[in-house]
Structure 1
Amino acid sequence: MAISGCHRHPVSKGVRSGQNLCRTLMLDRNAKRDAAALRILLDVANEQRINPTSILIDTDLNVDNVYSHQAEIEVWQELRAIENLREIEAPLSLAIESASRLHITTLGALGYAMLSSFDIRSALEIAAKFHSISLWLCDVTTEARGNVVEFFVLPHTLPESCRDFCSIRGVASLKVWVSELLGRNIAPLSVQLRTPKPQDSDLYDSFFDTRIEYGAEVYKISFERSLFREPLKLADPWNRQRSEEELKAIKSRREATFANQVRELILINPKKNQSEDTVARSLKISGSTLRRRLKEEGTTFREVRAETLHALARVMLIGSPRNIDEIADQLGYSEAASFVRSFRRIEGIAPGAWRKAEREQH
């Protein structure tokens, strides 16, 4: 599991501070995903007397497509639907209503693998392992502080018009999933949302059942650390293994490109600074074959590695309190100055200045 944070406060049995749970990093708008989240969105909109057809404008989809058996869509289509919803000024509380129906079982094989895990830690590990075929659009990192575990939802890879909706849905989904994993309603310790306090804030209060800070700098939800030590009631090693095999097949079908395989290997241990030949050996092919396959996909190993590390750097700068030296070390740079030069070459400014500007902007 890729670690994008420090190890100062390990959450029970291996969930660590700064852990990147959903390695979206670089949003692949053409990535395939299950249509379940979009179906739920259409259901919620319809109940608010919003015509589902209007939500699907410019998505190349129709209602029959979305509701067909085992329907798959692409990321950009769901984002376009969310943009349509925001354009008609539908309340953001629809994100909470959508999340309340995004049950773990809605995730299909991934959900059953999570429910069959020994504890929340191992459930999160398998969610991270198969992040690319989950229903998440945001990145998620964690920080452990004393007896509290904080989840940060990071929407920075998404279009501006989708960020608030997807972030609120993500925060709310974490509350739903922690509750369902433990088999009882779990009220978080606190919730922070970047958006101003809405007129229908009573809906937020009723759902989260805890103190909510509006207009915060981050999207965050916090839980008691002791929850991560509890064994899950539906733990079943055999069922988890069977679900994981199914997930591997789904992932292989949806992510067959060599560029994606290279990204996954780099993200497993970004600090290792793997060479092209090392990655090729991991893929059981020659270096020349890897170069040829990447060229056919319009890229190179150097480009894929640079893009992956840069995207990971952005996640760490936004979602982690660590300093520039620590981030450079975690990304495999021999010195912070090399990291700063690399980051400035892409963004035009130093990482520290970028972090400050990003936080002030949002």
Structure 2
Amino acid sequence: MSEKDTISIHLVREALLQSCAPGAATVEALSKVGIVPALLEQPDARVPATAYARLWRLLARRRDDEFFGMDPRKLKSGSLAFLCGAAMAQPSLGASLETGLGFLSLMLEQMPAQLVRQQSLAEIVLLEPEPKRAFTYFTYWMIVHGVACWLAGRRIPILAIELRCPQPDFYDDYRVMFSDNLRFDRPRTRMIFSADCLDLPIKRSPEELKRFLAYAPANILVKYRDPNSLATRIKNDLRQMPADSWPETDGLAASLCISASTLRRRLADEGQTYQGLKDSVRKELAIVWLAEPQVSFTEIAARLGFADASSFYKAFRKWSGSNPGHYRSLILNEAS
């Protein structure tokens, strides 16, 4: 992670809320990690992700709590290291998650969790007695998801995150870190992903663990997506028009007053392709419409520009590892 990767000042405020007294103590802590205290008064300010990671480590060390004082029990310093060590001894990601969630459920009084496998989908369900603030949930998910990705050696795509808390005033960075599909004021708190990931083998060495812990949490903070990037602009444009009217590469390039080769090169510089952007928007919209029971699969397929429902089924399974019927059943089955 480089200094150009940034985190919203809102997350800095959230980290300080229950872990550092306002006033002189906050000014001292921020100055120590290289964050200008005056930025707290600028709602659009962003700070280097590396500085945010230093703040995380400083607060954890001073409070002897790696969970920012957000649970009656401290997640004592060294807990992340113990969790990773125990989890990496397991043969598969599913077993690692069971071990890690069990450990966190023992350590944190109000954040018990369980892993549930439902055919082609898996979910981590929190059984907290009362709703928490959004930052508490996302700190928990950052630990669990970040460790899981490191254990598997690849990013685990999240299909949806549902939270019992109200939608906070600011949540843009959470969408970048986890999923565009964040749903608030839900009956349960859970993270949903493809069950295929549970079978991934774990092959991490003690040396790799040392390197991982040396750079945590900076290495599990996801790079901020530039809102002014070409890819973001294209995705925003695609969302505003029916899928069957999306332009081909040449037409898109012409609308941007650049050549098709320049379009491909600029997207490649951002690690993107036009086809990938179209698939991303289709998946994003499909997940939203699957949560609306009155919208049929045939209608969703048509809205997304597929020839028929069968083509949509195949594409959704490729995107998510699950068929859309099972996903809809799980996402709407809120009473179970």
Q: Using structure 1 for the length normalisation, give the TM-score.
A: 0.41
**Which structure would you say has the larger RCO, counting Cα contacts within 8 Å and 6 or more residues apart?**
1
